[in-house]
A and B are shown apart, each in its own frame.
Chain A
Amino acid sequence: MRIRPHLKYTVLAALLLNFAACSKNKSDLSTITGVRDAELTDAPLVPKQVKTDGPQKVIVHLEVQEVVKQITNGTYYTFWTFGGNVPGKFIRVMEGDEVEIHLTNPSSSKMPHSIDLHAVSGPGGGAEASYTAPGHSSVFTFRALNPGLYVYHCAAAPVGLHIANGMYGLIYVESREHPLPPVDHEFYLMQGELYTVGKYADTGLQEFSIQNAIDEKPTYVVFNGAVGSTLGPKALNVKTGETVRLFVGNGGPNLTSSFHVIGEIFDNLYNQGGTDVIHNVATTSIPPGGATIVEFKVREPGIYHIVDHAIFRAFNQGAVADIVATGNLDSTVYSPHPEKGQ
């Protein structure tokens, strides 16, 4: 059969279209190219950046642990946790990865638990699929479609109680097109409130206060699950001239954080934890269930207090963490002049 010229072109065009469709598929990240176990870290540590050519299947094992931990000296609370600490394990994946979440609720638990990851596109963020009775486990998978920093939390009823008891953490989905540039330090911080029957710093095992939670009157507002979690010997240590990236989340359950580092300006701020970068911000709002990434260069030696700038929370409820910078003073940037004072 003789092929007419215009038909030839039609076939050629169809082939080209087909080719274009194939390459489009590739950028859709539909093909899984490997399997890896996620590196999981406790705050203030962040897992290393992973760079893979294509999307992988990422296995994440989370175990719920109901544990008694210290809020402040001599003050204890029964925390419910993803992995034994507050906040829960930091999970880091790449855009397009297929994430397989294994949630284990040990037989020593009293309560059923679940996980809702804000990085999930699907009903409940995985909460229904992962609803797990004590002594049981569950598995579900999701595709990390949208790059950004996301909160995850337990969503078993009554959800506010599970969050108030410490069941929250962060998952970062790294953009393939614009992975985060290298910095000297990456840290993980999460703000959260504790509602107790006893007053601030009352000693002994504290009970949860429903009334204070409903009234949104926390006894404690803390970073990383305890007063002083990131102070003194546990402060974040850096050197002058180094760059710092903070992955910050707010577990809530009720209060919006006015996140600020005293004496620093965020050179880059990934607005709301998304991919839009804005510059030169000193204080940013982080809603409960929200997150943000900030980057700055530490120029001067000294202590930098990380606070919720709703400042009574910092001074009276515990919302302070510290960065301690060592190195030389750069007098072109900052100079105290005590001799000129009166």
Chain B
Amino acid sequence: MSGRIRPKAVLLFALALVLAHPAFAQSHQRKHPHELAPVSGMVCIPGGYYRPFYIVKGIDSVWISTYHMDARAVTNGEFLEFVKTNPKWSRSRVSPMLAEKGYLKAWQSDFEIGNNALVNAPVVNVSWFAARAYAAWCHKHLPTVAQWEYAASAPIVEPVRATARAKQSLILAWYSKPMAKTLAPAGTVNENAFGLRDMFGQVWEWTDDFSSVIVPGDARGTSGGPAVCGAGAIGSIDPTDYATFMRFAMRSSLKANYVVDDLGFRCVK
């Protein structure tokens, strides 16, 4: 699959995002940060307005400044380098407070992956603490939910062009299939117009503030948050966007020391 970034598509999409927004009248006067210097392996995501899926206290859009995002999910091979440099994050030495049982369970041992097929596949079974430590080690961060969702909102361009509804069906089809026995190499699945790959169809991904959308009570009632509910649709911008519902539901089921078989991450800068 092509790893080429399509500047034209990115530009058009960014323009569409800005133009589509009712706040355009203000936004075009806003000072756009200059294009950031290129970073290897990362894609520049031009700033713009993001409409949160769940509208909180009447804030129906937030400004996202230009940032870089890893073009694909972090791999086992990359994570191994981090663990070698930071042995306190090895399987036998990590505290269960920071990563529960099952952390890096597909690896052969503390410092060996032991399976060539895994080296370039997305790393999974890593806790939020571990993903964050990795990001810090690379002088990066985990994306916020807003950054992740904003980056994911671009249409898919490879292997098939899929906008809005078609993209949603493609994502839902993945969510509703049993988990793949082996993951494809990172960077080979569903490229979007920003040039990001693996956002859908590979693994779930940690976000820095995953717990900010949480289930406070019976989520179908008036006290409700979004994740456990029929009436959870109240407050979300598009109650038919089931693919997005599922990502929010997944995030709110997690705790920071959890590890999950198909949960990985990527970084931003």
Instruction: Considering the complex, give the chain A residue whose CB is closest to the CB of B101.
Output: A135
Instruction: Considering the complex, give the chain B residue whose CB is closest to the CB of A113.
Output: B253
> Which residues from chain A contact B252 at a C-beta distance below 8 Å?
112, 131
> Which residues from chain A contact B47 at a C-beta distance below 8 Å?
none
Within residues 20 to 58 of chain B, which ones have a CB less than 8 A from any CB in chain A?
none
Within residues 194 to 235 of chain A, which ones have a CB less than 8 A from any CB in chain B?
197, 205, 207-208, 210, 214
A133 within 8 A of B: yes
B177, B217, B260, most chain A CB atoms within 10 A:
B260
B179 within 8 A of A: yes
Let me know if A108 and B168 touch, CB within 8 A. no
> Which residues from chain B contact A208 at a C-beta distance below 8 Å?
172, 176
A26 within 8 A of B: no
Instruction: Considering the complex, give the chain B residue whose CB is closest to the CB of A161.
Output: B242
Bound: A114/B250 CA distance, A: 12
Let me know if B178 and A131 touch, CB within 8 A. no
B46 CB → nearest A CB, Å:
30
Instruction: Considering the complex, give the chain B residue whose CB is closest to the CB of A163.
Output: B230
Let me know if A158 and B246 touch, CB within 8 A. yes
Let me know if B215 and A131 touch, CB within 8 A. yes
A12 CB → nearest B CB, Å:
48
Partner of B172, one of A109, A136, A210: A210
- The segment from A121-129, A277-285, A301-309 found at the interface with B is A121-129
Within residues 103 to 139 of chain B, which ones have a CB less than 8 A from any CB in chain A?
none
Partner of B253, one of A124, A131, A165, A207: A131
Bound: A124/B216 CA distance, A: 11
Let me know if B219 and A124 touch, CB within 8 A. yes
Proximity bits, B219-260, A CB within 8 Å = 1, else 0: 111010011111011000000101001101110111100111
B169 within 8 A of A: yes
Partner of B232, one of A107, A133, A158, A210: A158
Let me know if B102 and A131 touch, CB within 8 A. no
Let me know if A134 and B262 touch, CB within 8 A. yes
Let me know if A131 and B172 touch, CB within 8 A. no
Let me know if A78 and B253 touch, CB within 8 A. no
Let me know if B177 and A159 touch, CB within 8 A. no
Bound: A107/B217 CA distance, A: 25
B173 within 8 A of A: yes
A64 CB → nearest B CB, Å:
12
Let me know if B249 and A158 touch, CB within 8 A. yes
Let me know if B172 and A156 touch, CB within 8 A. no
Let me know if A156 and B228 touch, CB within 8 A. yes
Bound: A68/B178 CA distance, A: 8
Let me know if B176 and A131 touch, CB within 8 A. no
Instruction: Considering the complex, give the chain B residue whose CB is closest to the CB of A133.
Output: B253
Let me know if B219 and A128 touch, CB within 8 A. yes
Bound: A214/B233 CA distance, A: 13
A167 CB → nearest B CB, Å:
12
**Given known A-B contacts A157-B246, A157-B249, A208-B176, A135 and B230 have beta carbons under 8 A apart:** no
**Given known A-B contacts A112-B253, A124-B218, A134-B261, A158 and B178 have beta carbons under 8 A apart:** no
Let me know if B217 and A109 touch, CB within 8 A. no
> Which residues from chain A contact B229 at a C-beta distance below 8 Å?
155, 157, 159
> Which residues from chain B contact A78 at a C-beta distance below 8 Å?
176-178
Let me know if A109 and B179 touch, CB within 8 A. yes
Bound: A134/B169 CA distance, A: 22
Partner of A157, one of B169, B218, B226, B240: B226
> Which residues from chain A contact B217 at a C-beta distance below 8 Å?
123-124, 128
Let me know if A157 and B228 touch, CB within 8 A. yes
**Given known A-B contacts A107-B102, A134-B261, A136-B258, A156 and B177 have beta carbons under 8 A apart:** no
Let me know if B102 and A135 touch, CB within 8 A. yes
> Which residues from chain A contact B102 at a C-beta distance below 8 Å?
107, 135
- 19 A-B pairs with CB atoms under 8 Å apart are A108-B178, A109-B179, A110-B178, A112-B250, A112-B253, A123-B223, A128-B217, A136-B258, A155-B220, A157-B232, A158-B246, A159-B232, A161-B242, A197-B169, A205-B177, A208-B176, A210-B168, A210-B169, A210-B172
